[in-house]
Amino acid sequence: MRQPFLFYTPFRKMNTIYSRLLFSAKSALPKAGKTIWWLLKIILPISLAVSFLQYWGIIAYLAEFLAPAFSVIGLPGESAIVFISSLFLTLYAPIAIITTLPLDMREITILALMCLISHNMFVETAVQKKTGSSAIIMFTLRFVTSFVAAYILNLILPEQIGNGYSVQQTVIFADIYEMLTSWLKGTALLILKITLIVTGLMILQNILKEFKILDYISKLFAPVMKIMGLSPDSSFLWFVSQIVGLTYGSAIMIEAVEKKEISPVDANLLNFHIAINHSLLEDTLLFVAIGVSAGWIIGTRFILSIIVVWTARLIIQKQYHFPFAKKQTTE
């Protein structure tokens, strides 16, 4: 009588695991769809507006006003257009512009650091606002920090750090129709990318929750979080932000805040960190591909983000008049 039971037990376990995986996937789809729609409502109008601004030459005109400020941080005036573009768009646009300018690797490294901190600001600031932080504070922090980081890097970078990137021909559209066609093609790929990544992340998060793997991740990264001034509850969200960034990781971050899996104070501190330091994998590799040293652009952001978070902790502690550690344990 016991033999059949032993024979079927592994199949019952497999069936249970399959059911839990299926449930995790199904429950993730509505939340993923809601976040995807919210992101596209923000991203698509902004990208279309910027396409028109670039076509009409308005962004190039605005960049002229920033040219004097860029000379202070060791960059030529024409590099301002790269930074202006990065404020509105993902990093692919400023990198494409960089390859059209006669810059040496030292200048490209400084510019890369600025773009890594301040790229896609309007979309990513909306994400951080959705997770409880002030949009004005986050926007100002990233904009100011990008210039502070560039100024510091200009002081410490060696004069010669590699070869300049070869200049390519600037893309010029013959008419608005050609510009819109290019925008539509890029938009279709962007929608597909957002859909796949956001949905995949939501399913992954549900699976990690279902099988209690999130608890293990939190414990594993807890010592690192402490050094950076963050709560252990931030571990998984920090990990997601470093792998896929703010835009694609927004679904998980928003859900964690809405379900109160992380306190408002801890979520705000996390936003201070990832405002400066996020997407260490993909974004960094984009600039490494054109010859930028990963050490300079990773190390500078990482150190600055730690300084900013600990400063924010001290301000919060002073504002609420209690030791921060006690605040963590009482919530």
pLDDT tens sequence across 262-295: 999 999 999 999 999 998 887 898 898 888 999 9
Residue 250: phi and psi, rounded to 5, are -60, -35
CA separation for the pair 218, 182 (Å, rounded) = 43
CA separation for the pair 246, 128 (Å, rounded) = 8
Residue range 71-88: mean pLDDT, rounded: 89
Say whether pLDDT at 326 is over 50: no
Residue 299: phi and psi, rounded to 5, are -60, -45
Cα–Cα separations (whole angstroms), residue 33 to 123, 205, 259: 17, 15, 18
Say whether pLDDT at 143 is over 50: yes
115-124, 160-169, 239-248, 260-269 — which is least confidently predicted? 160-169
Amino acid at 115: C
Residue range 27-46: mean pLDDT, rounded: 87
Residue range 210-226: mean pLDDT, rounded: 84
Closest CA to 32 of 251, 248, 194: 251
pTM for the full predicted model: 0.80
Closest CA to 153 of 44, 54, 18, 299: 299
Collapsing DSSP to helix, strand or coil, 175 comes out as coil
Amino acid at 75: L
